């Protein structure tokens, strides 16, 4: 998040009407995309070089709104990693195509700054990069099958924390009021007492 907001502040300070600035931003964007593709191809080569044929089984969740049921899949580590790497590479090409259309067809420059930084950050934070580039063991969060990272998970965790915190305070307040009601309950006089 900080990277995204920082890059947005950077774009506010740049003269986006200047042709030289536009070319520089586009050049930086293309360079970062080439680096990300290079990382993807390097990971692909390392996966093939390892030839890890250890098999494992997992439940593949269907695509949302497809109406299909989850299915059990048995595969090898190499096959799974190659599939995940291929999906990531396809995503790179898709976002590249969208950004090129937005830039050349509509003249949009501002998102190029953010898209110059975010794919590099994502490439190094990806699970396959952590295993195959950084050499981390496939344990914990890196254990296969990899969970898809939700970009809004941090926000939902924060919201859940606030909800729990305020929910607990509300419960404590209500409990305190009930205790106070019992202690300070005024004695109702009946007609007999009068």
Looking at the chain, the number of H-run helices and the number of E-run strands are: 6, 2
Q: Which pLDDT tens digit goes with each residue over 7-38? A: 777 777 878 788 899 999 999 999 999 999 99
Q: Percentage of the chain surpassing pLDDT 70?
A: 75
Residue 22 CA to residue 14 CA, distance in Å, equals 10
Report pLDDT for 166.
46
Read off the pLDDT band of 147 (50, 70, 90): confident
Which one, of 41, 141, 130, 45, lies nearest residue 92 by Cα? Answer: 41
The model's pTM is 0.69
Q: Percentage of the chain surpassing pLDDT 90?
A: 39
List beta partners, residue 71.
60
Average pLDDT, the chain: 80
Report pLDDT for 136.
93
Residue 42 CA to residue 26 CA, distance in Å, equals 24
Residue 71 CA to residue 74 CA, distance in Å, equals 10
Q: What residues contact residue 132 under an 8 Å CB cut-off, 6+ apart?
A: 43, 46, 47, 50, 81
Cα 173 to the center of its chain, rounded Å:
36
Residue 58, classed as helix, strand or coil, is: strand
Report pLDDT for 113.
87
Give the start-to-end residue ranges of the domains of the chain: 2-149, 151-182
Q: What is the mean pLDDT of residues 136-145?
A: 89
Q: What is the mean pLDDT of residues 96-110?
A: 91
Report pLDDT for 69.
87
Q: Which pLDDT tens digit goes with each residue over 42-76? A: 999 999 999 999 999 988 888 888 788 888 999 99
């Amino acid at each position: 998040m900080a990277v995204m907001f920082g890059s947005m502040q950077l774009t506010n300070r740049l003269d986006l009407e200047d042709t030289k600035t536009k070319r520089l931003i586009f050049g930086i964007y293309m360079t970062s995309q080439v680096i990300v593709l290079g990382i993807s191809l390097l990971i692909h080569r390392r996966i093939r070089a390892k030839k890890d044929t250890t098999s494992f089984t997992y439940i593949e969740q269907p695509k949302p709104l497809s109406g299909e049921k989850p299915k059990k899949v048995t595969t090898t580590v190499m096959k799974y990693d190659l599939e995940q790497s291929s999906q990531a590479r396809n995503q790179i090409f898709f976002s590249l195509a969208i950004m090129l259309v937005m830039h050349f067809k509509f003249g949009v420059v501002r998102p190029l700054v953010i898209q110059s930084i975010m794919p590099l950050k994502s490439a190094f934070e990806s699970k396959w990069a952590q295993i195959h580039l950084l050499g981390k063991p496939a344990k914990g969060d890196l254990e296969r099958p990899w969970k898809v990272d939700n970009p809004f998970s941090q926000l939902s965790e924060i919201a859940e924390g606030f909800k729990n915190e305020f929910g607990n305070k509300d419960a404590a307040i209500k409990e305190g009021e009930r205790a106070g009601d019992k202690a300070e309950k005024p004695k109702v006089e009946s007609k007999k007492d009068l």
